[in-house]
Amino acid sequence: MSTAYSDLPVVKYEGQNSTNPLAYRWYDANRVVLGKTLAEHLRPAVCYWHNFCWKGEDVFGLGNTVFQREWFNEADPIKAAYMKLDAAFDFFAKLGLPYWCFHDRDVAPEGATLAESNRILDGLLEAAAKKMQDGKVGLLWGTANLFSHGRFMSGASTNPDPEVYAYGAAQVKHALEWTNRLGGQNYVLWGGREGYETLLNTDLKRELAQYGRFLSSVVEHKHKIGFKGTILIEPKPQEPTKHQYDYDSATVYGFLKTYGLENEVKVNIEVNHATLAGHSFEHEVATACALGIFGSLDANRGDEQLGWDTDQFPNNHVQLVPAMLEMIRAGGYTTGGTNFDAKVRRQSIDPIDQLEGHIGGMDTMARAFLSAAALFESGQLEKVVADRYAGWEGDLGKKIHGGASLDDLASLVHAQGISPAPRSGRQERLENIVNNFV
């Protein structure tokens, strides 16, 4: 059937000299870098929610459908959902990217009961499974929406009402089982409401314990059903809650350690969430890699003049090179990938705008990765880092890690007359090296 995207061309790679706005200039899916193709390194995905569920409304225009798509104008919500599904897979085919991502409520409208909601979702995901097979599109991750409905206004797992907790658990069970059936690579939990607005009515210790039990039960069910993918938490500091319990990668790691889940759960890091937490994107990636919980990425950006989550398409490859370098150093993705959790601007009302947003985002990520790969292969920064920490490979470093006490070290300093002099970190030189590759 004809969809909003039927008249758009299939996007192909045409190279850096192309002047075609509907072609990839940097993303050559089959180009081999560091032993794998770009498609294998980046594992790009298209998100369902921003592209096919958002009508272009904002807080000053609620209820206004700015984007005119055929499924938004259909009165029957189930029929509209099937129209939306057709359009989504038509769009995926135009981009030629290997994966998609969804929340359960993105795909299917909610029924009067959870049982009815599940039946509606079952029919749509059965249809999606056929489309995935026909279009050779995989599922990067699935998840359940535990934040939009009013029942979740005080959280799902951290809600003061155990009935809300139970409802959320049942919803996650169904979404996780479908993610497994569709061959999903990961399952994500975004705790947008898992936090608090005020401590005046919050038992923080109790809520953290609830969150820990909830996540443990998800991991238990993963193993029960034989899901081979990775469970991911997506850190974010605030918005919609004042304070979210999964503030950043380091906070998530501390939470996982507390509940013995550090070997079971990893993080899905979003660029805009990292900056909202007061970090650089590369800091969040490096932290997750260092702690062994790096899983996947949501590719977008914020606006430096705005203090909220704007979810814009990435368009500055230079800013992304350090994060790509950290990912390469750590060995890259295993089950994770690069999901475009990004949306066009409210004034970009045509379907072609969505296509161009993804083209630009894909080229930006590919260009950043290629620059980072060339930098990594040159070995220039790796040599500087190795030289800077070389002392830790010597006798003193080995003694320290071997259990030397404060008394041992004090005796050694006095006996050998150790009096270290400061050494330059050569930051300006290193920044110049990076600029040579971008």
Select from 303, 309, 269 the least CA-distant residue to 286: 269
pLDDT above 90: residue 408: yes
- Please tell me which residue in 41, 50, 86, 103 is annotated as part of the active site: 103
Which of 106, 246, 248, 363 is an active site residue?
106
Q: What count of Cα atoms within 13 Å lies in the side-chain half-sphere of residue 144? A: 25
Mean pLDDT on 336-353: 97
Q: Are strands 230-233 and 243-244 parallel, antiparallel or unpaired?
A: unpaired
CB 249 within 8 A of CB 262: no
Q: Give the rounded percent of residues in the chain with a pLDDT score beyond 70.
A: 100
pLDDT band for 59, please (50, 70, 90 cuts).
confident
Q: What is the model's pLDDT at position 119?
A: 98
Of 62 and 437, more confident: 437
Q: Which whole number is the average pLDDT over 333-357?
A: 97
pLDDT at 1 over 80: no
What's the pLDDT tens digit per position in 67-90?
999 999 999 999 999 999 999 999
Q: How far apart are CA 284 and CA 366, in angstroms?
A: 20
Return the HEC string of the chain.
CCCCCCCCCCCCECCCCCCCCCCECCCCCCCEECCEEHHHHHCEEEEHHHHHCCCCCCCCCCCCCCCCCHHHHCCCHHHHHHHHHHHHHHHHHHHCCCEEEEEHHHHCCCCCCHHHHHHHHHHHHHHHHHHHHHHCCEEEEEECCCCCCHHHCCCCCCCCCHHHHHHHHHHHHHHHHHHHHCCCCEEEECCCCCEECCHHHCCHHHHHHHHHHHHHHHHHHHHHHCCCCEEEECCCCCCCCCEECCCCHHHHHHHHHHCCCCCCEEEEEEHHHHHHCCCCHHHHHHHHHHHCCEEEEECCECCCCCCCCCCECCCCHHHHHHHHHHHHHCCCCCCCCEEECCCCCCCCCCHHHHHHHHHHHHHHHHHHHHHHHHHHHHCHHHHHHHHHCHHHHCHHHHHHHCCCCHHHHHHHHHHHCCCCCCCCCCHHHHHHHHHCCC
Distance CA 97, CA 110 (A): 29
248 is in an annotated binding site: no
**Residue 62: pLDDT over 90:** no
Round the average pLDDT of the chain to a whole number and report it.
Answer: 97
The number of residues making up the chain comes to 438
Chain-centre distance for alpha carbon 150: 25
Write down the pLDDT at residue 63: 82
- 309 assigned ligand-binding residue: yes
Q: pLDDT: is 147 or 1 the higher one?
A: 147
Answer yes or no: is pLDDT of 239 > 80.
Answer: yes
The verdict on whether 106 is a catalytic residue reads yes
Residue 407 is among the residues annotated as catalytic for this protein: no
Instruction: Give exposure, 215-254, as e/b (b: 16+ Cβ within 10 Å).
Output: beebbebbeeeebebbbbbbbbbbeebeebbbbbbbbbbe
- Taking the C-alpha atoms of residue 301 and residue 278, their distance in angstroms, rounded to an integer, is 14
pLDDT digits (tens, 9 = 90+) for 26-39: 999 999 999 999 99
pLDDT over 90 for what percent of the chain?
98
Question: How far apart, in Å, do the first and last CA atoms of the chain sit?
Answer: 43
Ligand-binding site membership of 273 (annotated)? yes
pLDDT at 157: 98
> What mean pLDDT do residues 377-403 have?
96
Average pLDDT over residues 269-289: 97
Interval 158-173: pLDDT, tens: 999 999 999 999 999 9
Q: Rounded to the nearest 5°, which phi and psi values hold at 227? A: -70, 125
Confidence of residue 213 (pLDDT cuts 50, 70, 90): very high
Predicted pLDDT of residue 413:
98
Is 414 labelled as part of a ligand binding site?
A: no
Task: Give the Cα-Cα-Cα angle 111, 116, 120 (nearest 5 degrees).
Answer: 85
CB 23, CB 13: distance < 8 Å: yes
For the segment 212-239, the average pLDDT, to the nearest whole number, is: 97
pLDDT for the residue 418: 97
Instruction: Tell which residue, 323, 324, 216, has the closest CA to residue 265.
Output: 216
Is 350 annotated as contributing to ligand binding? no
Kindly report the number of other CB atoms within 10 A of residue 31's CB atom: 15
Q: Above 90 in pLDDT, residue 64?
A: no
- Please answer whether residues 211 and 191 qualify as being in contact, where contact means their C-beta atoms are separated by less than 8 angstroms: yes
**pLDDT (average), residues 391-404:** 97
- Using the predicted structure, report yes or no on whether residue 7 has a pLDDT greater than 80: yes
311 is in an annotated binding site: yes
* C-alpha to C-alpha distance for 202 and 191, rounded to whole angstroms: 16
Sign (positive or negative) of CA dihedral 155, 216, 252, 202: positive
Mean pLDDT of 215-238: 98
What single-letter amino acid sits at 332? G
Confidence of residue 426 (pLDDT cuts 50, 70, 90): very high
